[in-house]
Structure 1
Amino acid sequence: MKHFFLTVLLLGCINIAHAQLDVTTGYTAMQLAEELVGTGIEIVGAELDCPTLASGLFDCIDCNLGIDSGFVLTTGRATNAEGPNNSGSLGYNNGTSGDPDLNALPGVGTTYDACVLEIDIIPECDTVSFDYAFGSEEYNEFVGSINDAFAFWISGPGIVGAVNIALIPGTTLPVTIDNVNLTSYSMFYNNNTGVPAGDPYYIQYDGFTTVLTAISAVIPGETYHLKLAIGDEADHIYDSGVFLRANSLSTTVSASFTFPETGFGTGSLFCTTGTDPEPEFGADGVPGVFSATPDGLVLDPATGSIDLSASVPGTYTVYNTVIADGCAIDTLVAFSVIEINEPSIADFSYAGSPFCNDLGSVPIILGADAESGTFSASPGGLSFSVSSGTINTVASSPGTYTVTNTLPSGGGCPPISYSTSITIAPLYDISIDAAICDGDSYTLPDGTTVADAGSYTVVLPTAAADCDSSITTNLSILPVFDVSVDASICDGDTYILPDGVAVTAGGIYSSTLSSVSGCDSVVQTTLEILPIPETSQDAFICDGDFYTLPDGTVTSSAGTYTSVLTAASGCDSLVFTTLELWPVYAVNVDAGICEGATYTLPDGSSVGAGFYSTTLSTINGCDSIIYTTVEELSVTYATVDAEICDNEEYLLPDGTIATESGTYVNAYTTVFGCDSVITTNLTVHPNPVLVFDLPSVTCFEEGSITLIASPAGGTFSGTNVAGAVFDVQTAGVGGPYAIQYTFTDGNGCSSDTTMFIEVDANNAEAYGSAEMIIGYGTPIWGNTGGDYNWSPAAWVACVQCDSTTASPPESGTILLTSYNENGCVAYDEIYITVLPDPEDYAFIPNSFTPNGDLVNDYFTAFGLNLVTIRSMRVYDRWGNIVFERTNIPAADITAGWDGSVRGTAGASGVYSYVMELEFIEGDTRIEIGNVTLLR
């Protein structure tokens, strides 16, 4: 990589403003970096990507900024920051792009007018920091809508990616308009509105932060990259700026440290059984050599880690001694006081467990050096003292319990507990009632076997001494039974025996049952089977009649019926009846006759219109009835009035299509053979004639077009059409856009017509140098979608050229106006600052356009007192020489670089140059810089 260094000597008359904040511009990246850097920092390189007047140095003689001096980066003019605050919307449009890293910040959209300073540094110590304040004219009215942004990124060894260190203190939130204002983190905000408009003590910006500090940990001796950037969000309008304190970028180191608290007491208290503590360092603290007084503490001198189990309990002072070579302080010492304690002892026991239930009070026995704390027991049922642990066996339930002595935390040691197990043995005096079946035997609790009824008493010992229990058994003898039963059932039925078994066959069955006392009983059952008789018959009735079955049931439906009768034996007798129905007919007949005719009924009689009932007899003797309704049909005469619109069709009753006005008569025969006549009077209405005029092209700046058509009262439809208005700017440049007009008249007839319109827009962009020396002129050029018109005309060489030379007599704005073929207009402007002509001044353009139009086609140096360009070399981005010439006469413009590289047209881009200039008095000067080739 090649490094170029440029020193600019500013000459001429400079008016010193008497504001309390003084800002000067025109400084290089290295000059700004040197203003910021303090002790312990080496600058490796610096680059500035910022409009010429957007950055500068400042002095706060007596202002409310809070920083006495330093440099400022802005999104407009750096001098706009000077007080007094006499405008709520001061700003300057540099017309430049934003920064992609700013665009990527959370809550920030597209940025413009970016000003970026990048510095490479080598710190001597392990922490770098600098002070800054951020201000903006966007405060307070645009909080929440326009979020002008800035950031300070640091990257390098030990840092993942690029980290923004311009943060709200105590948070990870970046400092922005939306994050620091009247309602959000207001303790870091200065409201600069409502101040005296003429008092220069107050800076111009409507709001700014308090002085904040950006800080980051680094590795001493390594190279780090700082990127300081600010940009307008969403527009190029109101100015914002960030002020950085002079000499505040410095590196520091500290020996400060603490040991973490254990939570088992206040302060640095530790327990010999705890986790070995490690020292914790502050933001700039580093480990040095650790030591402690008095003797007895075991610690690692390199890390400060304490071995608690190997240390003697006591109070110690731990020291961290840092040898800070190269950090402006030779030796740093910090100390921390700690206390180490041994854990308490909770051992205890009870003498004589297990205990009889009637023993009474049982106290605890503490172990050596043990303490009594709070006692608990599980499970529930044990009666004891929470404070002393003494047990009351009489009030306790028999069982086994775990008793625990718990001592609280303190002195850095956690709570400690000790548990022991005890048993409360029960006392029994029990009476048992027992019974056995006659012939069985019974075993008593002591194992003795008996077979006779009576009372038996035995004594048994429990697990605890002197806790014997007495058990009395009252034994009785239960009887055994033997029973016989005779039973009968009808054939096909089921009989349930006493033991629950179901049987259907006759015979003798033996069932063994258990009585309520549990003794066996035997039941013998003799079962007899009784027979069932069956009979079948057929029967017939007319449909609608009733039939009585053998069991007396009456029915009128066909089918097979089973009648159950009771026989003399008590068993059922079955009669099966098959019943058949003969049909009876009832028929309804509708008939029609023409006027004057007769109808013949089913019985042969002739009748006119009316209702008739005819009764007939079937072959089985069942009646059938036919009901006949005779209707006399008349000839139909009908008239229909109908209307249609032109180009529609009307379907006549005979199925033909009519499209013209007129009277149509149709005669046809009905389904009954009788004539009918229908007369149709058809009217055909014409469709409405529409007139809809619309220009084929409109300009974007028109905003909207009111749509007019006749007849009025219809509806317009199409893209971006609302009511009778076409929204040009919502539709956007392009098209054609289809707009339809639809109208329906009073007869319901409709017509529609469609017109098409395109939206055109012009563009205008003006370019050129922002500064010039009076009398020299400076190239300006434009890019439009139509013609060119520069104004004021007296300030330019060619009013209607796409590129020309501007020679304004004073600082001011040159306006570029353009109309395209459709009359669409666009504007842009350039503000040119006219500077006085110093004796040895040379103007070197920062861009040129070698397109053969004889305007700005050559790159060279200009100056009234310039005699010769002794040497001129131009380099591409890789450091290769693309143009070299010596002894170029200052008046020969064509001897400069024409943009060619080795005989072919050079590519658009940025090139570097080195010139040696000679002036009238023989003075020489080296000029180094960049030039942009535009094609």
Structure 2
Amino acid sequence: MRNFWFLKKLIIVKIFFFVFLYVAEAQGVFTVDTVSYTPQQLVQEKLVTGCMQASNVQYNGSFQSIGYFENTGSAISFSNGIILSTGRAIDAVGPNNEMNISSAMSQGGDADLDSIVFPNTTEDAAILEFDFVPSSDSVWFRYVFASDEYPEYVCDYNDVFGFFMSGPGITGDYENGAINIARIPGTQTPVSINTVNNGNPADTIACPPVNVQYYVDNGMGITPLVNTELQYDGYTIELVASLSVQACQTYHIKLAIGDAVSDAYDSAVLLEAGSFSSGSLMGMDFQTLGQSSDQVNEGCEGDFIFSRGASSDLSSDLQFDLTFSGNAVNGVDYSWTPPAFVIPAGDSVLNIPIDFILDGVSEGVDTLVYLMETNDVCDCSSVTITIQDTIFIFDRDSLQAQINQIDTLICYPDSILLDVSSNYSEGLQYNWSTGSTDSSVWVTALQDTVFYVSVQDICGQTVTDSVVVGANSYVVFNSVDLEQDACFGDSLGILFEVTGTEPYTLQWFGPGGLIASEENDTLILNNIQLSQDGNYWLQGSNMCGISNSDTAIIHVTDVPQISIQPVDVNACVGDSAGLIVATDVYTGYQWYNNDGLILGATNDSLIFDSIAFNAMGDYYCIASNACGADTTDTVIVMVNPLPVVMFLDLTDHCENDTAFEVYGGVPAGGIYTGLGIDGNNFMHPDIAGYGEHLVTYTYAAPTGCVDTAMQYITIDSVPEVQFADLPDICLNADAIYLYGGTPAGGLYVVDY
């Protein structure tokens, strides 16, 4: 609960009467009171604070449109303050469950508001104005603007409000030269529906968001809402109105809000209590449960917090008086030992605790009126500072809480839910012996166990309860060896340690299902067979039910037997060759030759990628496992050398020669291949054509090993020869020189 500070030249004695009047309430978190305070009280007792003097308070509008609100919710950070509305102020109370909260108040408008919405006019205006004298060079207060015109009437209707301030040094366009200090932060733009919004959802292109960082959406009355405290569809974040002023001069402020265009869809402005400030000397706050409040429950503790203001001289003691009145009685309704009322020099804050007694008597609401007074000097005058307010003390029953479950039995590891019922449904803290802090907890017990819970209410009352959970247990199995290997014909045993509530019965199961007559914690398998390879488990049953052990796995293996023998290998040097073996069961392998164990040869195959002559010899393989071994037949790996093949030089031939037999390969009996060579080892120059050609001689030895040799043969082209005509000669003529053949250099032969 914030306290509101009165500055006056004489001590003012103020009397509070607590009367239950019409108050609207929403889930106990936001309330509006329109009848308990006059406009003057709202300004002087609730709004202004510090070394601020307010006077000449005037209000124009419906008295249903102005009121005092208190808030313990999270929608806005103000705990209390003044509300001005274009409709009924009590309609601000949430949740937001109406699309168009509206009230026609039959009130006129305001000229300054009209100038903001020109050419439209305003109506249903609520106007609160007063004079004030600041004690420093600045003045400020915090506020929130809210409206049901959000969001569907953004850019259409435009309810408006303004804080119009006038006085020394101020020259503006409103009445009396006032300026509007309700502005978008950092701008001269007035705060309104159309200047702070998230756009119109019906047309965000024509009406896009504006200054959306200052806007909070609260649904539309039919859509999910953001909070439960306020009825309005949208509102601004907490904003600050401020202005530089001249200290100790008289100023005037008009706080006004009105409907524009029509009286439909209400809007409101909420002013934080105690935020209208301009320097301060001393303040006082009452807190309970860590929050400011004017309400407290019996059995709770509270603190009066006295604090220096900015104008207080920290170097000297600050003395004050505190007196109580009301119908609450010290020692009956509260416990209080008056201390020395002084904030020592150098300290800024003094806390004085007070306890409210839980008497168990239904007596209605008690009131404790407190009055703090101190004489000191503000910057503008010497004044008596008086702070007075009322604490309302509400009846509270003693805390009752108990575990709903009675002492019970469970079967471990089953669990049971323990929960608590109390005569209070909220504000409880739980501390279970399990360490849980929830209102309920799942528990299990291996043995009889007592579970405790301690329940504490908001005022620190504590109740403890307990319940005994007795424990039976399912049959529980434990084994240290769940996987074993055995050889065909061996004997082995499977053992489980068995615990659980007796009597219990046991039954073994194996690969073939239930094992008859095996009803102990140990299973003995004699002369084990391959068919007994598989999974085994033990099943137990008792009063809690049936449970199964973990699965024990038995691997039964026989002595390996060779199923595929390796075979002899006859290979030539450089060939790829291999030996392969197979067994009827999983096994390991090791190959041997004339030299003994072959390192690294431990697979079911022995592969020679390019066999060498020295690999020739005897080979065998031993296949083995944990149960025994078997040896393959010994096989022979024969490695034959390659034949030595040579190829003598070949004679050149002409392109027009007849086919000729190719020869020169040693040893004889091989095959010649190449371009133009037929299957009878004859080469056809006309097929091979002009050029140098590769001829390959391949010879296969009697062992089947093959090698080759190669030579080149040249096929020359045939020259083009021409011979000119010769003259006739007589038989008896002398010898003549023959000529005319080209190219020159040839041989002339005459046939007779």
Query: TM-score, normalization: structure 2?
Result: 0.32
Higher relative contact order (CA 8 A, sep 6+): 2
Query: TM-score, normalization: structure 1?
Result: 0.26
Structure richer in strand, relative to its length: 1
